[in-house]
Structure 1
Amino acid sequence: MYRSVVVKKELSRKAKLSIYQSIYDPTFTYGHELWVMTKRVRSQIQAAEMSFHGRVAGRSLRDRVRSSVTREELGVEPLLLHIERGQLRWLGHLFQMPPGHLPGEVFRACPTGKRPRGRPRTRWRDYVSRLAWERLGVPLEELEEVSGEREVWASLLRLLPPRPSSG
């Protein structure tokens, strides 16, 4: 699909971007609410996204144009921002789940037992706690109180600023 859409000169830029938003983006980010975003995963996502956008804009890597410039020219928001919004939205749903619903119970559970050797993997709860602190400046405990007010929570997610870009 990638080559058949992006490379075609007959399709307008607007058509290519609408195909990106309706097919490529949802397929690529399926299940993103529960991803733990490491630096490596972030880099891979940004590379795949900018590969598509660069081709739509008619650029190659040799042109050495910053990603932010390409995004601004095409009028699209960063995919990482979309993913982070989705993760925080899911966090709000988890906070509001009544007792007895499995996802909420798993989120609140404290597992016991022995962990395997080596550095512990980052848990989703720890990741999303750090994400909320870095992006919103609010600790997880306070977010739980705010998530009860839907309008406030939705406006908080809408106002989520893009990360300072490094490229």
Structure 2
Amino acid sequence: MGFLRRVAGISLRDKVRSSVIREGLGGEPLLLRVERSQLRWFGHLVRMPPGRLPREVSQARPAGKRPWTRWRDYISSLAWGRLGILQSELVDLARERNLWGSLLELLPPRP
């Protein structure tokens, strides 16, 4: 944001919100950028060869009594809600790199 503030010629003393600066410069909303980044990382995990540590960690099922939610379940609900992709089709689509990248570019901003 420091770079964007300098480009816009606005200092912190002007007390202008970051979202207003991003909109004024034509940047994408922060939440949209985070969601794209999460979905992009999911695509990397799906395409990784078996045995790579990040893939193994993402598929791990820890033992214990503490309830927890899986990161992959969050990503599948994000993809279903925002892109309309079913969980059964999610992994197959993520394996095709070019198709997955084009889907991420079509991700609409949140209302």
Say yes or no: TM over 0.5. yes
Map of 1:90 onto structure 2: 41
Counterparts of residues 10-159 of structure 1 (less than 5 Å): 13=8, 51-54=17-20, 56=21, 71=23, 73-115=24-66, 120-159=67-106
Cα distance, 1:12 vs structure 2: 5.4
Quote the Cα distance in structure 2 between the aligned partners of 1:155 and 1:91: 15
The one-letter code matched in structure 2 to 1:51 is R
Q: Is the 8 A contact 2:76 2:90 kept in 1?
A: no
Map of 2:13 onto structure 1: none
Note the residue ranges of structure 2 that are not aligned, 5 or more in a row: 11-15
**Change in CA separation of 1:92 and 1:51 when aligned onto 2, cut-off 3 Å:** same
**CA RMSD, 1 decimal:** 2.6
Give deviations 1:71-130, integer Å, cap 9, x for gaps.
2x4312101000000000000001011110011111122222221xxxx45432221121
Quote the Cα distance in structure 2 between the aligned partners of 1:74 and 1:154: 24
User: Which contiguous aligned blocks of 4+ residues in structure 1 show a shift greater than 6 angstroms?
Assistant: none
**Bigger Rg, which one:** 1
Count of residue correspondences: 105
Quote the Cα distance in structure 1 between the aligned partners of 2:65 and 2:68: 14
Note the residue ranges of structure 1 that are not aligned, 5 or more in a row: 17-49, 57-69
